[in-house]
Amino acid sequence: MAKQSFQLHGATPNETVLFRGKLTKRKLHSLLDLRRRCTVAVEACTGFHDLGRRMLELGHEVRLVPPIYVRPFVKRNKNHATDAEALCEVAQRPTLRFVAVKTAAA
């Protein structure tokens, strides 16, 4: 995966913000290794599936959200931080269809 930094936005189901920030790929791996199981929502892209498989192996629930579903939830200028916040909100929608993480063979 070419992406080297990630914008995070953690929230509870009632949208109380737990954390916000930017992490390098290495620090993200460390965080996910140490964190208890959680739901991870990411904007679907072709480069995410390797990391998605790793998250699944660690017991996290991975929700890949099609970008077209994220845009309506961005409250102000579109950037990585507002996208991360919007993903938190979108991932909690019970009727949304998520993209499946591809297997290594696919």
- The residues near 97 (Cβ < 8 Å, ≥ 6 apart) are none
- H-state helical runs in 1-106: 25-34, 49-57, 67-70, 80-91
Domain boundaries, the chain: 5-91
Give the DSSP H/E element, type plus range, for residue 62: strand 61-65
pTM given for the model: 0.78
**pLDDT on residue 59:** 92
Residue ranges for the chain with pLDDT beneath 70: 1-2, 106
